[in-house]
Amino acid sequence: MRMAPITRLTILSIATVVLGAACGRGGGEDDPVVAKAFDQTLHWSDLRQVVPIGTAAEDSAAMAQAYVNNWLHKQVELHQAEIHLSSSQKHFDNELEDYRNSLLLFAYEEALVRQRLDTAISADTIAAYYRNNADNFDLKDDILRARWFRVQGLDKRTMKKLEDRFKDGRPEQMSEVEMLLAERGITITDRSDRWITLQALRNEVPLEALPSGAGDGFRTTLHMDSITWFLHILELRTRLSPSPIELVRQDIRTILLNQRKLRLIEQMRTDLYHKAVDDQQIEVY
């Protein structure tokens, strides 16, 4: 039997029926057939699950059409599978039972975890784990905390004064630097409160590579045409060195929670087994 094609007009009519019927009716005569494939039927109540109430008619039609078309294609393939596969190839009782049991155990264990898992992890516990496993958190990129700014158009005397005080770095010298910059409306880009990758820095500062001798507290100037860049590296962590703890704190917390979860589940399994033995609910013949 050749089925009539599912047209957009048909689907729009179906969507209208679905939206109207979704206001309270369902089942029996109020659940008309939307599509049929071989001995399988699709009802409007099935569409109601995928077409939210309140959806505009055109949107409902598109959603319904996609669902019906997918359902028809699936039924055609399933029909061919039923015809061509042998009885042994279609025997899935053991697999279905294993799958059901796995779902049951997963649902039970997740409920147990939600009820009993202690999710409070102290900063000291995280720090201890970090100290004992720092090698597991090696950096994949160079990272740093830094401040920088750029100037141009200054006379040589002012530029030298600025460079000398910047490289000196003492608080009183930096106060003069900041006053000089403020007088000229030059802002300092400050990334001292968070780590950034070297590549992120290079996206803003024309730095091809880390200068020789770069490290914590390093200061340097870069001259590019008429622009001079001033860079202060507060802290530097190179690739393959341990990541700063603040960057992996959440990862460590997740690891510790997962360890607690596994221990809780294992203890539950052991306790249930011993109770079943004590209650003589299990035995080996």
- The CATH number that applies at residue 157 is 3.10.50
Residue 94 lies in a domain: no
Q: Which amino acid is it at 29?
A: E
Residue 258 lies in a domain: yes
Strand segments, DSSP code E, in 14-142 are: 33-37, 40-43
Q: What domain range is 28 assigned to?
A: 8-84
Sequential pLDDT tens for the chain (285 residues):
444 455 554 555 555 554 454 444 444 567 888 899 998 999 888 887 777 676 777 777 888 888 899 999 999 998 998 888 888 888 888 899 999 999 999 999 999 999 999 999 999 999 999 999 999 999 999 999 999 999 998 888 989 999 999 999 999 999 999 999 999 999 999 999 999 999 999 999 988 888 778 899 999 999 888 899 999 999 999 999 999 999 999 999 999 999 999 999 999 999 999 999 898 888 777
Residue 281 lies in a domain: yes
Confirm if 160 and 237 have CB atoms less than 8 A apart. Answer: no
Could you give the 3-state DSSP secondary structure of residue 138? strand
Residues 68 and 189 in one domain: no
Confirm if 15 and 32 have CB atoms less than 8 A apart. Answer: no
What are the φ and ψ backbone dihedral angles of 122, each rounded to 5 degrees?
-75, 160
Exposed, middle or buried: residue 8 (CB in 10 Å: 0-12, 13-18, 19+)?
Answer: exposed
The continuous run of DSSP H or E covering 235 comes out as: strand 227-237
Q: So what's the pLDDT on residue 32?
A: 87
Enter the pTM of the model: 0.65
Residues 233 and 144 in one domain: yes
**Count of structural domains within the chain:** 3
Q: So what's the pLDDT on residue 4?
A: 47
Residues 106 and 178 in one domain: no
Q: So what's the pLDDT on residue 241?
A: 93
Residue 92 lies in a domain: no
CA nearest to 51, candidates 17, 84, 81: 17
Residues 145 and 207 in one domain: yes
Q: So what's the pLDDT on residue 51?
A: 75
CA nearest to 244, candidates 76, 166, 127, 146: 127
Residue 91 lies in a domain: no
Q: So what's the pLDDT on residue 21?
A: 45
Residues 224 and 253 in one domain: no
Confirm if 66 and 85 have CB atoms less than 8 A apart. Answer: no
User: How far, CA to CA in Å, does 217 sit from each of 37, 145, 222?
Assistant: 74, 10, 16
End-to-end CA distance of the chain: 58
Residues 149 and 188 in one domain: yes
Residue 2 lies in a domain: no
Cα dihedral value 127, 132, 137, 142, nearest 10: 80
What are the φ and ψ backbone dihedral angles of 174, each rounded to 5 degrees?
-70, -30
Residue 263 lies in a domain: yes
